[in-house]
């Protein structure tokens, strides 16, 4: 996979769950969601990312989900596999397995729970990169992992390691995202920087980034994909309108975990995706009503 193909709007596709005691994965609905996303014009798919509840899935489930997604996609868009684990050894095992199953690229989140130095993070990614030969996208989301991947570390990894070809920044710090783009632009190498916060996609593109891994594309895939398509076509005003349309969801995040809010919104649209795995799945009735209002408002505007 060429680095130039790492671009556009890539949904971290939700993992549909059955309404049973174990909340098993609903592979039939997963196939429907894959089709829905591709038909809506997204530019790639990212199974078991944060919105895919990677933190709540076993290794076996991740393999089965990846197999289902790759089989359903049939090469129509790139598939990015979230293969990051807490330890280097587990990350290598998951990364090798994802490559063997046919993933086009790997998205590797920083280790979590224990605090890591920048040297430890650098060494971690170098070790994983030596074990695979498909593109790696670094994944920075310190609010969830507790570990921040500094711009200088991203620059060094992209400079020193051939298969590390980009980074997703979900820090929520727009200056950090800009620094990723600025420092990697100095390299004699094509690097793809992706926005991990949906509200930063257009800013990322304007600064020279490649697009975004957009959780809200699970709700409004056509509109989310159009942020990139309109920008590339030179329709900056249209891209801004699409960006603003997906931003409306932000007002509902006070009612629960963003993953739970997004999955609940998809369920309210009539898709059989189930709830997030317990205990991370509570939305109060006030939040449900707020979500219904947001969905109705965007539906009335033709947002889909």
Question: Pick from 210, 178, 176, 216: which is nearest to 193 by CA?
Answer: 210
Q: What is the domain partition of the chain in residue ranges?
A: 3-246
Cα–Cα distance for residue pair 6/16, rounded to 1 Å: 25
Residues of the chain with pLDDT under 50: none
Report residue 86 as tokens: 């807490």
Selection from 259, 268, 291 nearest residue 14 by Cα: 259
Are 219 and 265 in contact, with CB atoms under 8 Å apart? yes
DSSP 23: -
Active site (catalytic) residues = 139, 168
Q: What is the pLDDT of residue 26?
A: 98
**What pLDDT does 37 receive?**
98
Residues 6+ apart with CB under 8 A from 94: 59, 62, 83, 84, 85
Select from 157, 162, 158, 163 the least CA-distant residue to 135.
163
Q: Which residues of 85-116 are buried (b: 16+ CB within 10 A; e: fewer)?
A: beebeebbebbebbbebbbbbbbbbbbbeeeb
Quick one: tokens of 105?
A: 């690229």
Dihedral of alpha carbons 278, 284, 288, 290, sign: negative
SS3 116: coil
pLDDT value, residue 117: 98
The per-residue pLDDT for 154 is: 98
Q: Is the peptide bond before 188 cis (omega within 30 degrees of 0)?
A: no
CATH 3.20.20.70, applies to 3-246: yes
Quick one: pLDDT at residue 188? 87
Closest alpha carbon to 303 in 237, 264, 261, 247: 247
Cα 130 off chain centre by = 24
- Which string of DSSP letters, residue by residue, matches 81-95? EE---SSHHHHHHHH
Instruction: Give pLDDT, residue 3.
Output: 77
* pLDDT for the residue numbered 203: 97
Share of the chain above pLDDT 90, in %: 98
């Amino acid at each position: 996979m060429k680095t130039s193909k790492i671009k556009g709007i890539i949904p971290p596709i939700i993992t549909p769950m059955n309404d049973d005691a174990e909340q098993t994965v609903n592979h039939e609905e997963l196939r429907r969601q894959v089709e829905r996303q591709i038909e809506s014009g997204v530019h790639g798919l990212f199974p078991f990312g944060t919105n895919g509840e990677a933190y709540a899935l076993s290794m076996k489930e991740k393999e089965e989900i990846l197999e289902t997604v790759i089989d359903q996609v049939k090469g129509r868009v790139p598939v990015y596999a979230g293969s990051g684990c807490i330890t280097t050894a587990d990350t290598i095992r998951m990364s090798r397995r994802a490559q063997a199953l046919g993933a086009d690229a790997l998205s590797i989140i920083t280790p979590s729970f224990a605090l890591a130095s920048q040297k430890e993070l650098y060494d971690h990614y170098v070790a994983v990169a030596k074990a695979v030969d498909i593109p790696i996208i670094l994944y920075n989301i310190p609010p969830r992992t507790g570990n921040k991947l500094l711009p200088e570390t991203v620059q060094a990894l992209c400079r020193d390691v051939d298969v590390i070809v980009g980074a997703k920044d979900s820090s929520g710090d727009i200056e950090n995202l800009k620094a990723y783009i600025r420092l990697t632009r100095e390299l004699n190498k094509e690097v793809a920087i992706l926005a991990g916060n949906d509200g930063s996609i257009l800013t990322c593109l304007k600064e020279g980034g490649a697009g975004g891994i957009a959780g809200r594309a699970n709700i409004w895939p056509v509109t989310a994909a159009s942020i990139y398509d309109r920008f590339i076509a030179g329709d900056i005003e249209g891209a801004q309108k699409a960006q603003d349309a997906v931003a409306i969801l932000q007002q509902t995040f006070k009612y629960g975990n963003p993953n739970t809010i997004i999955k609940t919104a998809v369920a309210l649209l009539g898709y059989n995706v189930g709830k997030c795995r317990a205990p991370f799945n509570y939305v109060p009735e006030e939040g449900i009503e707020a979500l219904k209002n947001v969905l109705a408002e965007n539906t009335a505007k033709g947002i889909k």
